Amino acid sequence: MTNANTTAASAARQTPAALSFEGVSFAYPAPEGASDAAAARPVLDGCDLSVPEGAFCLLVGDTGSGKTTLLRLAKPEIAPAGSLDGRVLACGRDVRELDGRASAETVGYVFQNPDSQIVCDTVWHEMAFGLENLAVPEPQMRRRVAEVSYFFGMEPWFSRPTAELSGGQRQVLALAATLAMRPRVLLLDEPTSMLDPIAEKSFASLLQRVNLELGVTVVVATHAPAPLAPFATMAVEVGEGAVRPVEVSALERRGRLADVAREDDAKPADGPRAADARASVRLRDVWWRYGREEPWVLRGCDLDVSAGEVRAIVGGNASGKSSLLSAVAQISRPQRGRVEVADAACQALLPQSPKALLTAESVEEELMEWSRAVGYARGDVLAAMGELGLAEGLLASHPYDLSGGQQQLVALAKVLLTRPRLLLLDEPTKGLDDAARAAVARAVSRVADSGATVLLVTHDLEFVRVCATSVSMIFDGKVISTEPTPEFFETSWLWGVSR
Amino acid sequence: MAGRRHVAFETAHASVPIVYFAGTILLALFALQPVYVALSLAGALAYSLACRGLRATALKLRWQLPMLAIVALANPLFSAQGTTLVLQLGFVRVYAESLAFGLTMGALLAASVLWFENAAATVSSESVLSLLGARMPVVSTMVVMVSQLVPQLMRRSRTVGGALDACTAARTPAAAPHVRAARLSGVLMSWAMEDSLERSDAMRARAWGASERRTTWRRQEFRARDAALLACVLGLIALNALLVALAMQAWWFYPTMAELGWWWGYVPYAALVLLPCALATYDEMSWRSLS
């Protein structure tokens, strides 16, 4: 046991531990036909962790490191199937001995995806769902729902259908609905990875309030700890089957890409990259809206992108970023204005949800799907996977068995293999850990080096800084400024200072 | 809701409008008698104007008026009954009685469709489910999920279709419409399955199935006022059911139409069909006097 572990253990003795893992080892059942060696390799191997009552604990680690497995073991209803050794205690009791009611009132769990964890059609019904399941009497149910809604300021949208909420609101709803059951420990699995930075920050500060004002012990598994680090009281890194403590202050610096990318010489040279002046994309006075009665999303939008450029489009939610990309991809036809795309005959789009591109039974079939149409071989597939840091062992896996981050990389590899002259990317780094973001930055730079044009829409300004050659800012349905990347960051008040 | 106007029964318990519309629609479907049909159509139109406005009502009528005309004109062609010959086209004899039957039937259909639409504009699926939820939690949860699933599938099919269209590599000869459709449904299916696994985890994490008994959150209580209103509506429906039965016995189309005259029995029916419009108008008037 390391020194830090010993300190954590002695701290745990002073205050009762809200959540503790004692010598926990876990292995998934081996797939049929797998060798014994593969079966024997555990995801977690003798993990000890003690989270004192009232702590705000971050579980960090790369995608696939076992964070989610560790978290789910503390909630037996959703624990993965496999062999478990050791004990998991919540508030001093073995979680496997808790009945349904005790489990709900001890441990709450919030999932990653804001879309699939909402069960009911309206906000009020979603808030009541867990309490209804626990057969809480109606007056008590009203009281609990009212208090949680008051705490989160949800009254303005309490009657709304859940389908109309933004991703950020849905995630707050998932948190509130879990808290209505008044758990003493709250576990969250990558709760902000699908949110934009602003929604992420407000979610993080809500979590801090839950921790400080309600005294709930919070444990968050995340691969991007920087936004949560200021609120955390402790942090552990999960990796190679073990759990080891890390300094919280060290986590605030994570998420920076510059150093990683520079080492690999991915940072673009100052000034435009060997750009010939050939226009690749030209939009003139484009107006677009979803329907006749809807408000305009693009309102007289102009855009010029030259071949060989990596152009980042940045802007807030609902500013029209994704609509602009759809207009360039010619998925949606503008109601007014002209769209000219020089390379429309050889383009590719990575959509915001990678699942939209994934259909095959295995990663190999998936990546080979367009091989005949485009003319590439299995060797190219392996090279593309290597470039993005995807292990060759994944070839046989079903795309849906991969983590969200791996799905994103497979979809990107599939798009890159078509060697597009115009590459359109919608939030390419969503849900990726730092290593994967750096790999994507390198891959995108390479595409542009080959003379193709890249247009990407993103909230990840750090990614923009290392891989874009120019930045357009979109606001109120128009492109309001376009500058080379260094100038954009120098003149930016918002992002310039955070460097 | 944008452009929403005054809706009847808004402050009443959901059971009141549900019983009202169920009863009114049933009566409207059975009362195949010109005066009843005319009253029902007038009441349905009046409420549609009050709760949805002129534009939305006119848009609906664009489909319903031709339907009315088709039924009115087609009936004499298929059923050559009656005694008063209006015109003869070759072998086809058109009788006034048959024309009147078609017209009444067409108006009845148009009125019924309008009543259904009025009901949909007044009673939300949420309130129907809240009545259902207390008795059948599993069924109501399933209905809620399915009703959310359909629009989500539509949205996703647009996303997937758009992504395919935007990748030129996908535009191969193999990408014939049926291949594309199969592919689209494959993606949507696996996506939905994946979601359902996660959703069932989310449900279990929130104690779904943890207790044999389940309570229900009722957003609206059934108060004495609702009971009184419900009793009035039920009484009015029962009285009218009796009167409709009487009126139907005294009315026939063939071989010659019975005579129509003034009858006090029409008054309760007029009261029934004009009730929602009256309530909505009263609501609007009280707002005006407030402002």
Residue B258 in this model has a pLDDT that exceeds 90: no
Q: Does A25 touch chain B (CB under 8 A)?
A: no
Last residue of a domain, one of A207, A233, A253: A253
Task: Give domain status of residue B215, yes or no.
Answer: no
Q: Does A390 touch chain B (CB under 8 A)?
A: no
CB contact under 8 A, B206 and A133: yes
Tell me what pLDDT residue A75 has: 94
What's the number of domains chain A is made of? 2
C-alpha distance from A136 to closest chain B C-alpha (Å) = 6
Residue A266 in this model has a pLDDT that exceeds 50: no
A111-115, A176-180, B145-149 — most confident range: A176-180
Do A98 and A139 fall into the same domain? yes
**pLDDT tens per residue, range B88-128:** 887 788 888 888 999 999 999 999 999 999 998 888 877 77
- A456-465, B64-73, B76-85: least confidently modelled range: B76-85
Do A307 and A371 fall into the same domain? yes
Q: Does A115 touch chain B (CB under 8 A)?
A: yes
Residues of A in contact with B186 (CB under 8 A): 359
Q: Which carries the bigger pLDDT value, residue A272 or residue A181?
A: A181
- A245-254, B73-82, B174-183: least confidently modelled range: B174-183
Do B170 and B256 fall into the same domain? no
Q: Does A308 touch chain B (CB under 8 A)?
A: no
Residues of A in contact with B203 (CB under 8 A): 119
Tell me what pLDDT residue A1 has: 41
Tell me what pLDDT residue A387 has: 92
pTM: 0.82
- A146-150, A191-195, B38-42: least confidently modelled range: A191-195
Distance CA(A424)–CA(A444), nearest Å, equals 11
Domain range spanning residue B37? Answer: 15-125+221-290
Share of chain A above pLDDT 90, in %: 60
Q: Does A99 touch chain B (CB under 8 A)?
A: yes
Q: What are the distances in angstroms from CA B139 to CA A466, B131, B142, B155? A: 52, 12, 5, 25
Residue B68 in this model has a pLDDT that exceeds 70: yes
CB contact under 8 A, B156 and A346: no
Q: Which carries the bigger pLDDT value, residue A366 or residue B175?
A: A366
C-alpha distance from A409 to closest chain B C-alpha (Å) = 16
Q: How open is the CA angle B49-B54-B57, to the nearest 5 degrees? A: 70
Distance CA(A316)–CA(A453), nearest Å, equals 23
- A75-84, A266-275, B50-59: least confidently modelled range: A266-275
Last residue of a domain, one of B205, B238, B265: B205
Q: Does A134 touch chain B (CB under 8 A)?
A: yes
CB A266 within 8 A of CB A447: no
Q: Does A353 touch chain B (CB under 8 A)?
A: yes
Q: Does A415 touch chain B (CB under 8 A)?
A: yes
Confidence category of residue A31, pLDDT binned at 50, 70, 90: low
Mean pLDDT for the stretch of residues A226-238: 93
Tell me what pLDDT residue A39 has: 53
Do A217 and A344 fall into the same domain? no
Last residue of a domain, one of A253, A272, A304: A253
Tell me what pLDDT residue A294 has: 86
CB contact under 8 A, B217 and A133: no
Residue B247 in this model has a pLDDT that exceeds 90: yes
Mean pLDDT for the stretch of residues A85-104: 92
CB contact under 8 A, B217 and A108: no
CB contact under 8 A, B190 and A355: yes
CB contact under 8 A, B213 and A135: yes
Q: Which of A63, A82, A53 is nearest to A431 (CA)?
A: A63
Do B108 and B56 fall into the same domain? yes
Residue A414 in this model has a pLDDT that exceeds 70: yes
Mean pLDDT for the stretch of residues A209-233: 94
Q: Does A384 touch chain B (CB under 8 A)?
A: no
Q: In this structure, what CATH number is given to the domain that contains residue A317?
A: 3.40.50.300
CB contact under 8 A, A356 and B152: no
CB contact under 8 A, B160 and A136: no
Sheet of A453-457: strand order equals A347-350, A422-426, A453-457, A310-314, A470-475, A478-484
Do A16 and A71 fall into the same domain? yes
Do B58 and B115 fall into the same domain? yes
Q: Which of A418, A449, A427 is nearest to A345 (CA)?
A: A418
Confidence category of residue A262, pLDDT binned at 50, 70, 90: very low
Average pLDDT of chain B to the nearest whole number = 87
**pLDDT tens per residue, range A279-312:** 899 999 999 998 888 899 999 999 999 988 999 9
Tell me what pLDDT residue B283 has: 86
Integer-rounded Cα Rg, in Å, for chain B is: 26
Do B226 and B111 fall into the same domain? yes
